[in-house]
Chains A and B, each alone.
Chain A
Amino acid sequence: MSIIVKDLSYTYNPKSPYQTQALKNVSLTIEEGQFVGLCGHTGSGKTTFVQHLNALIITQEGYLSVNGLDLTVKNKKLRREMLKKLRGKVGMVFQYPEYQLFANTVYEDIAFGPKNMKLTKEEIDVRVKEAIISVGLDFDYVNQKSPFELSGGEKRRVALAGVLAMRPSVLVLDEPTAGLDPRGKREILDLIVNLKKQSGLTVIMISHDMDEVYEYTDRTIVFNNGTVEYDMRTYELFQKADLTKLGLEIPQMAVLNNILKNGGVFLTGENHTVKQMLSALVQYKADKLRKQQND
């Protein structure tokens, strides 16, 4: 099952002086289990796009389906049924999600979604436990705590757990690492990678940090003025496309890889991280020295 988008367009405040077209004829398909990065400067349409995916925005034009559910259905009764099925499927983690925590205890906060899905008490209990553990927090330590007593990074995990408790098959994250310190960033991203590995989750991540996108995603979609400017395998994108004109930075390891290639140094592998780059360089040097000796 996957996300299918065809000619999706959206206009804010139509027929008013503030009319702005946020999406223009966007078409793409996202397969199950992909880790997709969504990039583009502020106002490029990426947030409008992801808000379509769980029907926070009602489609105006074009076709959109998620896991076989047609989100453009107009018939009221069918639409209600579709929404019911959809809500738990696409989990949305907004920017600074810790600002949305509201309950007295971590447990209640995470249980809010499953409760609204009218699950049994036992089922809710199972899901809350599972969600807390999956974000790397200690259940006994946090479950009766107020979410407001926790650190910034912990709060963000609780917010993420609240979404995971719905057991979504697609996880949409809007700048999940914004405002976190370097360790907090790494921890959240590693956590997402693990979740994806364990449950085959499809992950769509909006990010302004190109180094992060380069290290973690398989595919990158770049929005510009409401259209899809690029949609490629992440590695290819940063080797080929001229992204600086769109206000995006080139990841450090991609810059280095390009310089090396132009200088005739062809390393093994794609080397998206410092660690990979380091060992590829060490390997390259050793191979060359060995070859020299043999000659």
Chain B
Amino acid sequence: MQKIIEIKNVTYNYKDYTDNGTEIATDRGVNNIDLDVYEGEFLALVGHNGSGKSTLAKLFNGLIKPQSGSVRVYGLNPEIDEQLYKIRSKVGMVFQNPDNQMVASIVEDDVAFGPENLGIETKELRNRVDNALKSVNMYEYADKTPTRLSGGQKQRIAIAGALAIEPLVLVLDEATSMLDPIGRSEVMETVLKLNKEGITVIAITHFMDEAVKADRVVVLNEGKIALEGAPKEVFSQGRLLHQMGLDVPRSVSLSTQLSERGFNVEPFTTDIKLLGDKLCQLLSKI
């Protein structure tokens, strides 16, 4: 698979200020990170609050620039202005709070905001907005006002807004954390569908059951990458994840511990129903 984002030895730290305004360096942010993102993958970024996930996300589309090290997105350098704009049109972002991302009073105007700013012609603009709304299943809401939509619907509009710039990569920074279960599954289904259609997805999440659905999981801890691999590999490190303030999905945790205690079950079972059926089989045989 082709590398599309290369992050090499990148450090980005936030600054603190004393009462008289002098800067103090901190180690909050990310420190000497190396990470490659591959075309078409679904990458989940997990880590405790303050582990550096969002900082990393902002590096993907040049919202912040590395203080040291280098970032390349499709070979483009975000530190050069002309290239930065090209990066922005390739990497779309969706943030946590649906209410903070609406800029217009009509859904279709909101979706059109991005491409309009890129100077896209009216006819093409119409096409892009329609297509983007169709792909998140919100086409019939084109002339509605965003304020009267549910959280899940608003987030899908925000995704449509990102899609209208026809990005190759979609970065979701805790895009489901303020939604109810219906909204969450609406957004997750939309994202999985887009990923199947070829868009690379980078999802930052606190929901381990979302991370389990990814192709690859990267765990950040104190600004560094602590673990990386397929969900199965990462979530088999229950104790380590616990130490880093994270959790393992309940079904995975139970199946792993049962297998350690001599139960003949698959240690990494993500589906609780499968685990239940297996246990019934096992225990009725005794």
Contact = CB atoms under 8 A, between A and B. Distances in A.
Contact of A282 (B96, B261, B286): B261
A248 B181 CA distance: 7
A255 B273 contact: yes
Given A179-B206, A208-B181, A255 B48 contact: no
A277 B253 CA distance: 11
Contacts of A281: 258, 263, 279, 283
Q: How large is the interface on B (under 10, 10 to 19, 20 to 34, 35 or more residues)?
A: 35 or more
B63 interface: no
B48 A183 contact: yes
A179 B178 contact: yes
Contacts of A289: 286
Contacts of B273: 255, 259
Interface stretch (A77-85, A123-131, A260-268): A260-268
Interface string A79-108: 000000000000000000000000000000
A294 interface: no
A284 B279 CA distance: 11
Interface in A257-293: 258-260, 262-265, 274, 277-278, 281-282, 284-285, 288-289, 292
Contacts of A153: 49
B49 A253 contact: no
A153 B208 CA distance: 19
Contacts of B180: 41-42, 208, 247
Contacts of A211: 250
Contacts of A182: 48, 206, 208, 245-247
Nearest to A40: B180
Nearest to A96: B178
Contacts of B253: 274
B118 interface: no
Given A247-B181, A255-B273, A278-B258, A180 B49 contact: yes
Nearest to A211: B250
Contacts of B49: 151-153, 180-181, 184
A178 B150 CA distance: 17
Nearest to B174: A179
Interface string B244-277: 0111011101100110010100000000110111
B246 A179 contact: no
Interface in A180-195: 180-184
Contacts of B20: none
A136 interface: no
Specify which of A152, A256, A258 lies most central, judged by the most chain B CB atoms within 10 Å of its CB. A256
Interface in B156-196: 174, 177-178, 180-183
Interface of B: 47-50, 96, 150-151, 174, 177-178, 180-183, 206, 208, 245-247, 249-251, 253-254, 257-258, 261, 263, 272-273, 275-277, 279-281, 283-284, 286
10 contacts: A41-B181, A153-B49, A179-B206, A182-B246, A259-B277, A263-B277, A284-B283, A285-B286, A288-B286, A292-B286
